[in-house]
Structure 1
Amino acid sequence: MRTSFGTILVLLGCLLAAPAVAAYALVGEVTDQQRYLDAVEPLADDPAIQQSVASQIDTALGDKVPEAAQPLVDQSVNSFVRSEEFRQLWLSVNKEAHPEVLAMLRGEESGSLSVRGDAIVLDLGDVTTQLRDRMSAEGVPFADQIPRVDASVELISRPAVRQLVPAFDLLETLSVVLPIVALLLLVGGVLIAARRGRVLIVGGIGLVVVMLLLVLFQFIARSQVTARSPRPELAGSFYDALTSQVQTMAWIVCGVGGLAVIVGGIVASAQGRRTAPPTPPPSRRASFSR
């Protein structure tokens, strides 16, 4: 009876483990500004984002640059989007935009992220000064005469955000309570059970299964978000940055589940040896000699 009740508790804990991991990892990474910046910082080196910004700069310059200087200009633009100056600009803009990203995910309309068409756009602002300095340093003719250049990056589509808002709101509400409840159910179920080895095996397998389902769900959600976005490659990079911690924690918990299966097998084997009935000694017949 105790083992059956413990197994039920452990299975409930396994069912709650997936939303608990998603809530704890995602909400923590998005709501904490430093963790958010650590997540989006590598995007400054993403080829898709660099190419997007470089294309906008080339379009803004257009025919305002002499044809003879065009190769040097292209070289300076490509050098700029790969430079430390661009990385610092990216971090600065994202730091300012972090409250708006939170407002966007919480369904608040007060955020200042611009909406163009059906896409949420992160404005990098005027990059003219940085371009002029770099072009002057690299000897580009007429560098001091380049026009004002504004750059931006399309993050994600607005319909996709509307889809994410209910899920994020629920996860944010449960991000503290859910992990605690799931852990109490898992630990309590093992402690209550009389055959703890068997319950550990069930719990370990359950954790592995639900974590694999969580990773699969994350992959499906990513495909839906990118399919709804005007620039799938940029939306995919942004989605990966915000959910990377979820996948990392899912694989960690999956490993913990595998370890629980191994430990459960050892414990079950030991319990089986202790409870096995003793083997009766062989009967010996008395022999009589004539």
Structure 2
Amino acid sequence: MRTTFGTILVLLGCLLAAPAVAAYALVGEVTDQQRYLDAVEPLADDPAIQQSVASQIDAALGDKVPASAKPLVDQSVDTFVKSAEFRQLWLSVNKEAHPEVLAMLRGEESGSLSVQGDAIVLDLGDVTTQLRDRMTTEGVPFAAQIPQINANVELISRPAVRQLVPAFDLLETLSVILPIVALALLLGGVLIAARKGRVLIVGGIGLVVMMLLLVLAAFLARSQVTARSPRPELAGSFYDALTSQVLTIAWIVCAVGGVAVIVGGIAAAASSKRQAPPPPPRRRAHFSH
């Protein structure tokens, strides 16, 4: 009876493990500003984002640069989007936009993030000064004549955000209590059970299955987000940045589940060996003379 009740508790804990991991990791990644900045900082080196900004600069320059100076200008623009100055600009803008990203996911109106068409756009602002300084340093002709250039990056589509809002609202509500309840059910079930080895095996398999389902759900959600966005490559990069910790923790829990199966198997085998009845005594053969 104790083993049955413990198994039920462990199975309930496994069912809650996936939303608990998603709630803890995703909400923490988005609501904590430093963790958010740590997540999006590598996006400054993403070729899709660099190419998007470089293309906007080239379009703004248009025919304002003589053909003879175009190769040098293009090289300078390419150097700029890969520079430390661009990375610092990216971090600064994201730091200012973080409250708006949070408001956007909570279904509130955002101010710094603009809506252009059907896309949520991160405004990088005026990049003219940084570009002029770099071109001047590199000796590019006509650097002083560079016009004012505003750059932006399309993060995600508005319909995709609306689809994510209900899930994020629920996860934010449960982000504290759900991991505690799931862990309590898992540990409580193992402690209550008389046959702990068997319950560990059930719990380990359950955790592995639920974490694999969570990874699959994250993959399917990414497909939905990118399919609904005007720039799938940019939306995909942004989605990956915000969900990276969810997947990391999911794989860690999956490994813990695998260890639980191994430990449970060893414990169950040892318990069966202890409970096995002793072999009957061997009778000695008697020979008559």
TM range (shorter): over 0.9
Structure 1 residue aligned with 2:188: 188
Unaligned runs of 5+ residues in structure 1 are none
Deviation at residue 286 of structure 1 after TM alignment: 5.4
Q: Partner amino acid for 2:180?
A: I
Conservation of the 8 A alpha-carbon contact between 1:99 and 1:111: no
Q: Partner amino acid for 2:141?
A: P
Structure 2 residue aligned with 1:172: 172
Structure 2 residue aligned with 1:267: 267
Structure 2 residue aligned with 1:107: 107
Separation in 2, partners of 1:199, 1:179 = 20
Q: Partner amino acid for 1:172?
A: E
Unaligned runs of 5+ residues in structure 2 are none
Separation in 2, partners of 1:106, 1:4 = 41
Counterpart mapping for 1:118-137 below 5 A: 118-137=118-137
Structure 2 residue aligned with 1:250: 250
Structure 1 residue aligned with 2:156: 156
Separation in 2, partners of 1:112, 1:49 = 19
SS in 2 for 1:282: coil
Conservation of the 8 A alpha-carbon contact between 2:197 and 2:268: yes
Q: Partner amino acid for 2:43?
A: L
Per-residue displacement from partner, 1:122-154 (whole Å, max 9, x unpaired)? 000000000000000111111011100000000
SS in 1 for 2:112: coil
Deviation at residue 287 of structure 1 after TM alignment: 5.2
SS in 2 for 1:250: helix
Conservation of the 8 A alpha-carbon contact between 2:160 and 2:225: yes
Conservation of the 8 A alpha-carbon contact between 1:10 and 1:186: yes
Conservation of the 8 A alpha-carbon contact between 2:101 and 2:110: no
List, as ranges, runs of 4+ consecutive aligned residues in structure 1 with deviation greater than 6 Å.
none
Per-residue displacement from partner, 1:153-192 (whole Å, max 9, x unpaired)? 0000000000000000000000010000000000000000
TM-score (norm 1): 0.98
Deviation at residue 110 of structure 1 after TM alignment: 4.1
TM-score (norm 2): 0.98
| Range moving further from structure 2, 184-193 or 275-284 | 275-284
SS in 1 for 2:122: strand
Counterpart mapping for 1:2-13 below 5 A: 2-13=2-13
Q: Partner amino acid for 2:202?
A: V
Per-residue displacement from partner, 1:241-278 (whole Å, max 9, x unpaired)? 00000000000000000000000011001111111111
Structure 2 residue aligned with 1:39: 39
Q: Partner amino acid for 2:145?
A: Q
Distance 1:240 1:105, change over 3 A: same
Separation in 1, partners of 2:212, 2:256 = 13
Structure 1 residue aligned with 2:19: 19
Structure 2 residue aligned with 1:229: 229
Structure 2 residue aligned with 1:29: 29
Separation in 1, partners of 2:16, 2:9 = 11
RMSD, matched Cα? 0.9
For these two proteins, the number of residue pairs brought into alignment is 289
Separation in 1, partners of 2:229, 2:275 = 61
Q: Does 1:56 align with 2:45?
A: no
Separation in 2, partners of 1:284, 1:44 = 84
SS in 1 for 2:141: coil
Separation in 1, partners of 2:4, 2:111 = 51
Q: Partner amino acid for 2:9?
A: L
Conservation of the 8 A alpha-carbon contact between 1:44 and 1:50: yes
Q: Partner amino acid for 1:234?
A: L
**Percent of aligned positions with the same letter in both sequences?**
85
Conservation of the 8 A alpha-carbon contact between 1:97 and 1:113: yes
Q: Partner amino acid for 1:67?
A: A
Structure 1 residue aligned with 2:204: 204
Separation in 2, partners of 1:59, 1:48 = 16
SS in 2 for 1:43: helix
Conservation of the 8 A alpha-carbon contact between 1:101 and 1:111: no
Conservation of the 8 A alpha-carbon contact between 1:103 and 1:111: no
Conservation of the 8 A alpha-carbon contact between 2:44 and 2:87: yes
